[in-house]
Chains A and B, each alone.
Chain A
Amino acid sequence: MLASARTFALLGIEAREVQVEVDVAGGGLPSFSLVGLPDAAVRESRERVRAALVNSGFEFPMQRITANLAPADLPKVGPGFDLAIAAALLVASGQLPPERLRGVALAGELALDGSIRPVPGILAMAEAARRLKAPAIAVSAHNAAEAALAGEPRVVPLGRLQQLGSLGTEDEPAAPPRPAWSANGAQPQGPDLADLRGQPYLRYALEVAAAGGHSLLIVGPPGAGKSLAARRLPSIMPPLRRTEAMEVLRIASACSRSLRSDASPARPFRAPHHTISTAGLVGGGSPPRAGEVTLSHRGVLFLDELGEFPREALEALRQPLEEGRVTIVRARHAVDLPCRFMLVAASNPCPCGRGEESGECECQPASVRRYRAKLSGALADRIDIAISVERPSAEAMGAAPGSDSATVRGRVIAARERQERRLGSGRCNAEMSLAELRRDAATTPEAKATLAAGHAQLGLSGRGHDRVLRLSRTIADLDGCGQVSGDHVARALTLRRRGTE
């Protein structure tokens, strides 16, 4: 007898529908074959299904069993197909009425004792089930809250394989409550900006960066508070709007099997070590997996010791930074992953970290040059702000703490609202096109004069000019001004990343 069940394969962060067809035929030697481009973990599914069925009190048919995962050209990885294969096998062998499975999507890994384990990507699968208008999705009880984030369809949390029989009946396990979305109410999460003491200008640079979505480079010796500052950036960024939160959750769901069932997640903060490979940073592998840029979508990607990162990895950041998404093409398929993140890079002044002026630096000029060349490579073009920091003195550390994250975030939100009124929902100054920049950055005569002086005295290039104007626009937004004044331009001149000699 023939039966089929509906499940999903995860490609990147997207779920594609897979039909599991199982045929149980009498005659010949008993066998169990699995076809349809399964990887090793999927092929081993046969052993798990066999043991789980027997240990759940079902009978494993001693006949010729063929399971096909369609479409056959879509690569399938991981153990998430177990549940659907077992369900289809139960129907095909007459142990489960076919109407139990009608249209229902299933995703879960089987343990040998018949219990059901969570799998990654459940949120994307539940959303795909909703698009397919499936009546229900059956998942591991550990995945239930995550599946419920999709809203539709009905979620059936399964603890054990036996509970398949209850699908669509009164005995069906109750769906978990849908996690509530708390718009805007969320307090800043993570470490607070108040911890950053004695560095008022660094605080200001963070505020401008957060307000305009500008990428930031911090240069200074070890112990100057570079990563302390970077880690506090998410806490002053505006709260995620609903669609953004869903994007963050979808990515987190696809990349881990234990998602916190929280509908209002914090902005991600990722700080990969500098030994990371290019594929680890931007995504890659076959089948393609999300990299750090995607994991930091809508959040902050912090590259500490920028000069130590491999050159190829930094070069590969270009497309993601410019387009806000990364396309990974492999022989069999291409995957599009979102990656709209704020880049924060930190660097020592030279490889030894002490800095040329300290008098203790023993770096060769050539190695300092190589080190700095990394900062001025292709990546630098996408960095708007660069500031130098020093270890704060003891008295500066003892000074009264500055405003906390909630206060600063209030100003950032107000500045972002001004930007959205001009640019449209969800956009910020860092993403302005040249045309929008010309249209929106209305300058006072004084500001024009300052810009012209910058051009004449500082050798500001065309790009440099646009960068200053962009930053000035953000600074004016923070001040609540419609027009960019000379003071705004002057502050932008100090904050801007300068071309290297």
Chain B
Amino acid sequence: MSDAVWAIRRGEPGYPAALADLGTAAPERLFGCGDRQAVEGHQLEHTVTVVGSRRASSYGRGVAEELGRLLAAAGLVVVSGMARGIDASAHRGALTGGGTTLAVLGGGADVVYPAGQRRLYGDILASGAAISEAPPGRRPGPGAFPKRNRIMAALGAITVVVEAAQPSGSLITTRQALDLGRKVGAVPGPVTARVSEGTNNLIVDGAFLIRGAQDVLDLLLGVGVEAVRRCGPPLEPDLARVAGAVELGSRTCDAVALALGASPEATAVALAQLELLGYLRADAGGRYSRSALIPPGEETEP
């Protein structure tokens, strides 16, 4: 890891072959911060681009984070744009999944934009790289982001849109991906949500429907080649009942205790144990939700 900016010229060894598909539009030089190897070792068929709205819902952010985490855990590289919302969630998910993630920036590779993502930027550099065609130090100007989108589209064998309004920058990325002959997938959302309008339309227009990381793995590697590691440690019956109650919509400790007729103290203990085992997550206020982890013996779920 280093803060120094490095550069790879077009034609030099280490310049990602996937970018050559852009033809004359391929960037002349690629600047980067972080692990240079993450770019030089780029393999198109093991790379997924995840994009989506900055104004994402908690549903969208959750899906993006889960996608990032499970794809990274399966050994794929996750590419995104470090914007707020879906992008940031995908990066963060990939980092928790212990994988490599690439951030393609609109400004210089050493310019943290948006500035609020400084911490995420640091984490990305520690296990991947931030790259850009803009020279170091340049602030992203108008037009920088649509231009940068073509790089994201070229780097991923598939571009998955998690949430996008109509029209949106994410849809520009999908058009560029299609022009390059890459696959495009979309995560469905509520038909009433404006932020899912673009993705639902993509599905109607023939994009792959993505229900989770397994769908992406099947598309890229072939069905049944790689399974998302979703199986958790075994659960005692009491804990399984609590996990089930949360799955059925009891989100607070009170709700779970009432649903199961258990004491609040015992419920609190069970919730903490399930959170430690990875079956549950809690938000800042202490509201619980189920993670993608399933108990052993129930792998038949899609």
Residues of A within 8 A of B (CB): 198-204, 217, 219, 347, 349, 356-357, 359, 364-365, 372, 375-376, 386-390, 392-393, 396, 450, 453-454, 457-458, 487, 489-491, 493-495, 498-501
Contacts and interface: CB of A to CB of B under 8 A. Distances in A.
B56 A199 contact: no
A490 B254 CA distance: 16
Contact of B253 (A364, A457, A494): A494
Contact of B58 (A357, A388, A454, A493): A357
Interface string B237-264: 0000000000000011111011000011
A357 B60 CA distance: 12
Interface in B249-291: 251-255, 257-258, 263-265, 267-269, 271-273, 275-278, 282-287
B276 A389 contact: no
Given A219-B286, A349-B285, A388-B286, A203 B264 contact: yes
Nearest to B195: A365
B57 interface: yes
Interface string B71-104: 0000000000000110000000000000000000
A500 B284 contact: yes
Contacts of A393: 258
Nearest to B56: A365
A369 to B, nearest CB: 9
B252 A389 contact: yes
24 contacts: A200-B263, A201-B264, A201-B267, A201-B268, A204-B265, A204-B268, A347-B285, A375-B284, A386-B284, A387-B252, A387-B285, A388-B286, A389-B254, A458-B276, A487-B265, A489-B272, A491-B272, A493-B276, A494-B269, A494-B272, A494-B286, A495-B268, A498-B284, A499-B284
A387 to B, nearest CB: 5
Interface of B: 54-58, 84-85, 190, 192, 251-255, 257-258, 263-265, 267-269, 271-273, 275-278, 282-287
Given A458-B276, A491-B272, A390 B255 contact: yes
A11 B57 CA distance: 53
Given A201-B268, A203-B264, A219-B286, A493 B275 contact: yes
Contacts of A375: 284
A201 B58 CA distance: 26
B193 to A, nearest CB: 9
A201 B282 contact: no
A200 B264 contact: yes
Contacts of B251: 357, 388, 390
Contacts of B283: 388, 498
A390 B252 CA distance: 7
A450 B276 contact: yes
Given A498-B282, A498-B286, 15 more contacts: A198-B254, A200-B254, A356-B57, A357-B58, A357-B251, A364-B55, A386-B284, A388-B253, A392-B254, A450-B272, A490-B273, A491-B265, A493-B276, A494-B253, A495-B268
A386 B276 contact: no
A493 B285 contact: no
A357 B255 CA distance: 16
9 nearest A-B pairs in the assembled complex, by CB-CB distance? A219-B285, A490-B272, A201-B264, A493-B272, A494-B268, A201-B253, A201-B254, A490-B269, A200-B264
